[in-house]
Amino acid sequence: MKSYSDSYKAAGVDVTAGYKAVELMKAHVAKTMTSGVLSGIGGFGGLFELDVENIKKPVLVSGTDGVGTKLKIAFLMDKHDTVGIDCVAMCVNDVICCGAKPQFFLDYIAVGKNVPEKVASIVSGVAEGCIQSGCALIGGETAEMPGFYPVDEYDLAGFSVGVVDKDKILDPSTQKAGDVMIGIKSSGVHSNGFSLVRKVFYVNEETLSTYYDELGATLGETLLTPTKIYVKAVQSLLDAVKVKSISHITGGGFYENIPRSLPKGLSAKIARADVQVLPIFDLIAKVGNIPEHDMFNTFNMGVGMTVVVDKADADKAIAAIKAAGEEAYVLGELVESDEGVIIC
């Protein structure tokens, strides 16, 4: 018997819309398939066979996150095909910080009303993020929750699992004073600090459509720019030099994230003039009259990821990152101090 329920539909949940959404997203999911995938979409669990032929002591590394209130921008602009990239990025960029390689990803989409075409558009972004990070989208969940979410809104989260050889896990304790910290450029605000962004610009359809010469785009286009995925750049870097630590610059900015990868007694000393701040952050600070400390304690300021290497390896490291298609530069150096981050 065909699955449907008029009673459930009358309560606001249309199971047939869910089936249609799955059919529409299958083509996007298929693009992410890798050799380890053993199951198709639609099962109760995603099956993945881990290739450990060249890994002596495999360690699984997991990361989970969502897109946050950046979704409000997508709602107002009615553009839903990029936030999935953000969702994948926020997870895989965490996973790679210990030296791991992402293997697969699962998403969770909760909607007020299941519009199959919108859900498929969201998943197209998730699939693109998986392609960029070289991992497979092996499953997920779409939950229709009328009365909990407005009919035109949704939430999006997910998680990724990676693998690293235990002997190759990055060891921050090997860092020393004089080591160089390299900054890898971000694409913009990424997926953090949007509650403050929305307050600063009183975000609505009108403000998002405002064009700024310094941005070369509208505010909405700039804010919705997807989070950079650094997997390929970091893999290239790990193959080129000995990396001592990696930090993903997310919510909390420099002051919260960089110290997470530093041992006790060492701090990152960064010259403010050396930070290549993107125009969107200058605009946020100006319009919102936000103190510089708060900016560096909330946003990535144009640096999506930092890596620490020996001073002698700095040029080689930057070359490897650039060869992988990302922009990087020397951001600062490690010094003996317990302050965590020193911006001077």
At the second CATH level, the architecture of 6-168 is 2-Layer Sandwich (3.30)
In the prediction, which pLDDT does 36 show?
82
In angstroms, rounded to a whole number, what is the distance separating the alpha carbons of residues 289 and 45? 49
Per-domain residue ranges of the chain:
6-168, 172-343
What whole-number distance in Å separates Cα of residue 20 and Cα of residue 217? Answer: 35
Task: Give CA–CA dist 282/267, Å, rounded.
Answer: 26
> CB of 229 within 8 A of CB of 220?
no
- The reported pLDDT for the residue numbered 12 is 67
The parts of the chain modelled with pLDDT lower than 50 are: none
CATH classification for the domain delimited by 172-343, as one of 1.25.40.10, 3.90.650.10, 3.30.70.1140, 1.10.1060.10: 3.90.650.10
Expressed in angstroms, the distance from the first to the final Cα of the chain is: 70
Tell me the DSSP string of 29-80: HHTT--TTB-S-TTSSS--B----TT-SSEEEEEEEEE-GGGHHHHHHHT--
DSSP assignment, residue 154? E
Instruction: Record the pTM.
Output: 0.94
Q: What pLDDT, on the 0 to 100 scale, is given for residue 213?
A: 96
pLDDT in tens, 190-230: 999 999 999 999 989 999 999 999 999 999 999 999 999 99
